Amino acid sequence: MRSDEAINYFDTAERDEIGTMLITMVKDNLTKFSAYDISKARLARSVQQRIGRPSTKDYIRFVRNNLLPNCPITVQDIKNADMIWGPDLGNLKGKTVRHRSPIVTVKSTTIPLAIMQQYRDSYLYAPFVPVPMYIDEKFVPVCLLHAQD
């Protein structure tokens, strides 16, 4: 439906239908595997987290090509872990890297003496913080947000 403000929404009160929702529970998934398979799947998920949470595809490639020496995990253990618990949550959330913020430089110019004498008692105001128009005889350009009398 669409509201008067052109916002889409779904009104559940006006439904005459009865629907079915299918939910897969981990508890149900665990009943499909033996205790040994569950312990190996648990180990596979633990190793995946310890080596930096690679994608399932990459993790399978690592195990298949024996790139993890002395690793008791098999490809089937990785697939079982995905069937029981779904894809690794940390991998789904993504891997973010913080980039360094750009350096902000302030350009200043010298204020002529006549202007300094004329506006000696003038201030530019930002919310709650008065900022003088000149700092050490240097003019610092500031954007005036809103004027007050």
- pLDDT tier, 95 (very low <50, low <70, confident <90, very high otherwise): low
Q: What pLDDT, on the 0 to 100 scale, is given for residue 80?
A: 95
Least confident of 84-98, 99-113, 120-134: 120-134
* Token representation of residue 118: 């004329």
* pLDDT attached to residue 143: 52
Nearest partner of 24 among 79, 83, 76, judged by Cα: 83
Query: What integer is the mean pLDDT of 102-127?
Result: 72
Determine the pLDDT at residue 130. Answer: 47
Selection from 103, 140, 112, 104 nearest residue 124 by Cα: 140
Per-domain residue ranges of the chain: 22-93, 109-139
pTM exceeds 0.75 for this model: no
State the DSSP string of 65-127. Answer: TT-STT----HHHHHHHHHHH-S-HHHHH----PPPPPPP----EEPPHHHHHHTTT-EEEET
